[in-house]
Amino acid sequence: MKTIPEILNHCAELSFDLNFSKAKLWKSESPERILVGYLPIYLPREIVHAAGGLAVGIMGAGDRKQIIKGDAYYQSYICHLPRGVIEMALDASLDHFDGFLFPSICDCVRNLSGMFKIINRGKFARYFDYPQNFSPQVGGVFYRQLIQTILDDMEKINGVKVTPEMLNNSISLFNLNRRLIEKIYSIKQNYPWRLSAVDTYHLLRAGLSIPVEEHNDMLTAVLNFLKDDSGQPQDNIRVIVSGSFCEQPPIGLIKSIEMSGCYIIDDDFMLGSRWIMGDINSETDDPLNEIVHAFLERSQFSSAIYDVGNPKGKRLVEIAKRKNADGIIFCAASFCDPALLDRPEMQKVCDEAGIPHINFQFHENTGQFKVIKEQAGTFADSIKLWA
Ligand code: SF4
Whichever domain contains 125, its CATH number is 3.40.50.11890
Give, for 12, the enclosing helix (H) or strand (E): helix 4-15
* Mean pLDDT, range 95-117, rounded to an integer: 95
- Asked if 305 and 132 touch (Cβ cutoff 8 Å), the reply is yes
Burial environment of residue 329 by CB neighbours within 10 A (0 to 12, 13 to 18, 19 or more): buried
Nearest CA to ligand 1 atom 6: 246
- Phi, psi torsion values for 346, nearest 5 degrees: -70, -40
pLDDT at 364: 95
Q: Is the pLDDT of residue 356 over 80?
A: yes
pLDDT at 236: 97
> Over the stretch 266-294, which tens digit does the pLDDT of each residue have?
999 999 999 999 999 999 999 999 999 99
Q: Is the pLDDT of residue 42 over 90?
A: yes
C-alpha closest to that of 146 among 282, 297, 292, 37:
292
Residues 6+ apart with CB under 8 A from 91: none
Residue 93 within a domain:
yes
Any atom of ligand 1 within 6 Å of the Cβ of 82 = yes
Instruction: Map 26-91 to HEC letters.
Output: HHHCCCCCEEEEECCCCCCHHHHHHCCEEEEECCCCCCCCCCCCHHHCCCCCCCCHHHHHHHHHHC
- Percent residues over pLDDT 70 in the chain: 100
Q: How far is the CA of 301 from the centre of ligand 1 (A)?
A: 16
Any atom of ligand 1 within 6 Å of the Cβ of 246 = yes
Q: How far is the CA of 105 from the centre of ligand 1 (A)?
A: 7
* Mean pLDDT, range 198-207, rounded to an integer: 98
Any atom of ligand 1 within 6 Å of the Cβ of 79 = yes
Residue 141 within a domain:
yes
pLDDT at 283: 97
Q: Tell me which amino acid residue 312 is.
A: K
Q: Is the pLDDT of residue 348 over 90?
A: yes
Compute the distance between CA of residue 340 and CA of residue 108 in angstroms, rounded to an integer: 14
Residue 339 within a domain:
no
Compute the distance between CA of residue 224 and CA of residue 167 in angstroms, rounded to an integer: 28
> Over the stretch 303-319, which tens digit does the pLDDT of each residue have?
988 887 889 999 999 99
- Asked if 325 and 354 touch (Cβ cutoff 8 Å), the reply is no
Q: Is the pLDDT of residue 1 over 90?
A: no
Say how many domains are in the chain: 1
- Percent residues over pLDDT 90 in the chain: 90
Compute the distance between CA of residue 260 and CA of residue 255 in angstroms, rounded to an integer: 9
pLDDT at 92: 87
pLDDT at 76: 83
Q: How far is the CA of 282 from the centre of ligand 1 (A)?
A: 33
Its domain, for residue 154, covers 14-160
pLDDT at 229: 87
Compute the distance between CA of residue 235 and CA of residue 380 in angstroms, rounded to an integer: 10
Chain mean pLDDT for the chain: 95
pLDDT at 31: 94
Measuring CA to CA, how many Å separate 285 from each of 50, 215, 281? 15, 27, 10
Compute the distance between CA of residue 316 and CA of residue 347 in angstroms, rounded to an integer: 10
Least confident of 64-73, 201-210, 349-358: 64-73
Residue 211 within a domain:
no
- For residue 105, whether the previous peptide bond is cis, meaning omega lies within 30 degrees of 0, is no
C-alpha closest to that of 226 among 13, 1, 4:
4
pLDDT at 184: 98
pLDDT at 381: 97
> Over the stretch 148-195, which tens digit does the pLDDT of each residue have?
999 999 999 999 999 999 999 999 999 999 999 999 999 999 999 999
Residue 238 within a domain:
no
Closest-lying ligand 1 atom to the alpha carbon of residue 109: 5
Q: Quote the pTM value.
A: 0.97
* Mean pLDDT, range 328-345, rounded to an integer: 96
Residue 54 within a domain:
yes
Residue 378 within a domain:
no
pLDDT at 386: 86
pLDDT at 308: 79
Q: How far is the CA of 380 from the centre of ligand 1 (A)?
A: 28
Residue 353 within a domain:
no
Closest-lying ligand 1 atom to the alpha carbon of residue 335: 3
Compute the distance between CA of residue 119 and CA of residue 110 in angstroms, rounded to an integer: 15
Q: Tell me which amino acid residue 229 is.
A: D
User: Angle CA(236)–CA(248)–CA(22) in degrees, nearest 5?
Assistant: 110
* Mean pLDDT, range 336-345, rounded to an integer: 95
Least confident of 38-42, 310-314, 344-348: 310-314
Q: Is the pLDDT of residue 90 over 90?
A: yes
Q: How far is the CA of 21 from the centre of ligand 1 (A)?
A: 26
pLDDT at 77: 86
In 260-361, which residue ranges form alpha helices assigned H by DSSP? 287-298, 312-322, 337-353
